[in-house]
Chains A and B, each alone.
Chain A
Amino acid sequence: MDITPTDIGLVARVAHLGKSYGTASNPVSALSDVSIGIRRGEFTAIMGPSGSGKSTLMHIMAGLDTASSGQAWLGDTEITTLDDARLTVLRRRRVGFVFQAFNLVPTLDIIGNILLPFELDGRKPTSDEQKWIDHLVVTLGLSDRLKHRPHELSGGQQQRVAIARALATRPDLVFADEPTGNLDSRTGREVLTLLAAASKEYGQSIAMVTHDPIAASFADRIVFLADGRVVEDRGASSAADISTFMLGMEAHA
């Protein structure tokens, strides 16, 4: 292949990806022959019902899990061949994470959590990066919380800290795994607005796994998975349209 993923505007790509669990005699397939690309600068939602393989797909794309077959790239790096140490450094420098809960290290204060990826690299942020971090802290309304511990913050504030940490290293791709799953709907909407803004204003590529049509309606593009396969790939849609499509998927199943 002469065309690299970057050339065609993709920040991440998987080709013929498969993942199965269980024993050799009784394999349970989580993903089978999935091929998609995440476009640079876009906010992509990966949707599907429970057990559709959406989390597994995200985990493999983020270098958190290994594939059983097929290939995955982050930028121009093929990550399916990397060993654990290289994958770790890749996650630290080139990927950002926002999880549903338990995002923050409880023993570190807020600023310590935001700076953790830099510290793991054994370096201080450059003056340019420091300006960016300061900007994020102000924008996300965390200025007076920097010395607090995670448990002193509300769920929404904790998610904002996670977003600040995920954006701080300006990673190739931010993965968000049900980022609003633990929040009330108003706080959830705030968090989604922040993610959408990060994509729009800073050109940050974001891939979000969710089963919530309202969350997905904030995205530029929605990929639907069912039973380990991509069943639909469409542009920005309203929550109502997304719900209708998902109900249709259920009816076919």
Chain B
Amino acid sequence: MNGLKEHGPSVLVAGLSSAFGVSLVATTGVLSQIIAGDDRASAIETVTMILTFIAFVFIAIATYVGAVVTANTFSTIVAGRARTIALLRLIGSSARTQRRAVATEGLVVGVTGSLLGALVGIAVTWGITTAGVAMDQIPDDAYTFVSPIALLPVVTVVLTTWAASWIGSRRVLNVSPMEATGAAQETSLDEAGRRRGRNVTALVLFVLGIGILLLGMVVGLVSPLGVLIGVVGGLLSFTGVVLGAAVIMPRALRITGRLFGSSATARLAAENAVRYPERSARTTIGLVIGVTLVTMFAVAVESYQAMIRAAQEAQPDVYQGTDQILVITVVVFSVLMGFSALIAAVGMVNNLSLNVLQRTRELGLLRALGFTARQIRTMILAESAQLTLAAVIVGLLLGTFYGWAGAQSLLGSISGSPGLITPAVPLVLVGVIVLAAVVLTAVASVAPSRRATRIAPVAALAVQ
């Protein structure tokens, strides 16, 4: 079985989410112990509370990102298995049985990934803390790394991975036994029917979410608890964006597609990027989420820092000692950013690979007609670049908005009257995101191009 090849990335995503959650719970515990032992900071309670909030907000977000990536990966895997599923349907297996089989794979993936991730998460936190103590950066203390709360992210990741595989396997229900006979060509039309209903849901979620987010920002003017309302609004509205991705992303891709010229290679790449709106949405949405998160936290942290700096100037006594906490916060936030982006990148690379794998026949035709291996590589690189670029642009826009909204709802009450926070966009981080996107483009296209150029024209045409 090629189970590991297909599910490896999903195990990795579940592992990353779980490692992230467990490590975050453990790190929050350690940080709280450090802050409690540090009598210089007088704003202890607010900071500890905010840290705990942030930890759980992050766990929710990471699990969500992981779930979306996993659901999309399973959709793509199921699309690739359509022929096999159709054959089993043909000889009498019910669609429900088939779907349950896929979901069971999801459960196995979730349990495996989550447990491995938990071990890694504990090990990483232990490693960082030990190193910190050894370098005299943090006080020596009997820190606890395993707490019952850590079970929460582990179990959540298992359940969300399972649920994600169930959602992602929905296409199984649309596989007709006829597809096994080879009479049916690959289509995406079956997905079009349910799209309208989904778009309405997406729009409702988006509008509702934005409404709640605005409410959170208003509440944030009087209490940092506004961020909890804001998170709900953010998750709802962003779920709207994710569900409506098949509408949003092809438009963004149309724009980026024009940037690559009009050669046959570039035109084919542009067309490939938008040919299946569902599929290109699947491929890019993980990255949109990643970039949105990175930008969101960059903007939020920048706004936070700007506020703290202003406060330090006004009341040097009260805010003495916050520098160290700020440094820790920035380090922690950077690691968190790296994680969400990593999860997204795994999803993107995997989806592009699966897409190429499922286009074997077409690539074989192009090779037969005279596409050189180099032209195939250029085409896939251009496709990868368009997908990444579109995701980055959408992500930057969304991230700036959410980051500002988050900072506003969390810090509005601390910032004093009138409590409005100016969105601060750190240009350096934007530059880093763009650079990382370029690297990702190149990395994401390596495996698919190698696979695509290895396709012998004959092998592709022999597929019946």
Given A99-B461, A102-B361, A107-B268: A120 and B370 within 8 A (CB)?
Answer: yes
- B191 at interface by CB-CB < 8 Å: no
Contact with B along A88-99 (1 / 0, CB 8 A): 110111000101
- In the complex, the answer to whether B271 meets A107 with C-beta atoms within 8 Å is yes
For chain A, residues 72 to 92, give those with C-beta under 8 angstroms from any C-beta of chain B: 84-85, 88-89, 91-92
Chain B nearest CB, measured from A251 CB (Å): 28
- In the complex, the answer to whether B263 meets A85 with C-beta atoms within 8 Å is no
CA distance A119 to B272 in the complex (A): 17
- In the complex, the answer to whether A116 meets B369 with C-beta atoms within 8 Å is yes
Of the candidates B272, B361, B371, the one whose C-beta lies within 8 Å of that of A88 is B371
For chain A, residues 87 to 141, give those with C-beta under 8 angstroms from any C-beta of chain B: 88-89, 91-93, 97, 99, 102-103, 105-108, 112, 116-117, 119-122
- B99 at interface by CB-CB < 8 Å: no
The winner among A89, A92, A151 for most chain B CB atoms within 10 A is A92
- In the complex, the answer to whether A122 meets B263 with C-beta atoms within 8 Å is yes
- A28 at interface by CB-CB < 8 Å: no
- In the complex, the answer to whether B373 meets A88 with C-beta atoms within 8 Å is yes
Chain A residues within 8 Å of B272, by CB: 107
In this complex, how many residues of chain B approach chain A with their Cβ under 8 Å: the count is: 25
Of the candidates A92, A106, A122, A151, the one whose C-beta lies within 8 Å of that of B369 is A92
- A65 at interface by CB-CB < 8 Å: yes
- In the complex, the answer to whether B369 meets A120 with C-beta atoms within 8 Å is yes
- In the complex, the answer to whether A64 meets B372 with C-beta atoms within 8 Å is no
CA distance A102 to B460 in the complex (A): 11
CA distance A102 to B369 in the complex (A): 12
**Looking across the interface, which residue of chain A has its beta carbon closest to that of B456?**
A65
Chain B nearest CB, measured from A84 CB (Å): 6
- In the complex, the answer to whether B369 meets A59 with C-beta atoms within 8 Å is no
- B133 at interface by CB-CB < 8 Å: no
- In the complex, the answer to whether B375 meets A120 with C-beta atoms within 8 Å is yes
Chain B residues within 8 Å of A85, by CB: 372-374
- In the complex, the answer to whether B456 meets A117 with C-beta atoms within 8 Å is no
Chain B nearest CB, measured from A187 CB (Å): 16
- In the complex, the answer to whether A91 meets B370 with C-beta atoms within 8 Å is yes
- In the complex, the answer to whether A89 meets B370 with C-beta atoms within 8 Å is yes
- B89 at interface by CB-CB < 8 Å: no
Of the candidates A65, A117, A151, the one whose C-beta lies within 8 Å of that of B370 is A117
Chain A residues within 8 Å of B458, by CB: 59, 64-65
- In the complex, the answer to whether B362 meets A106 with C-beta atoms within 8 Å is yes
Chain B residues within 8 Å of A106, by CB: 275, 362
**Looking across the interface, which residue of chain B has its beta carbon closest to that of A86?**
B372
Chain B nearest CB, measured from A124 CB (Å): 11
- A-B pairs with lowest CB-CB distance, top 8: A92-B370, A119-B264, A107-B271, A88-B372, A65-B458, A64-B457, A120-B370, A64-B458
B contact set with A: CB distance below 8 Å: 185, 263-264, 267-268, 271-272, 275, 361-362, 365-375, 456-458, 461
8 extra A-B contacts, CB within 8 A, seeds A91-B368, A99-B368, A108-B268: A97-B368, A102-B365, A116-B264, A117-B370, A120-B369, A120-B375, A122-B263, A165-B369
What are 25 contact pairs spanning A and B, CB under 8 A?
Answer: A59-B458, A62-B368, A64-B368, A64-B458, A64-B461, A84-B373, A88-B370, A91-B368, A92-B370, A99-B368, A99-B461, A102-B361, A102-B365, A102-B461, A105-B268, A105-B362, A106-B275, A107-B271, A107-B275, A108-B271, A116-B369, A117-B370, A119-B263, A120-B264, A121-B370
A contact set with B: CB distance below 8 Å: 59, 62, 64-65, 84-85, 88-89, 91-93, 97, 99, 102-103, 105-108, 112, 116-117, 119-122, 151, 165, 177
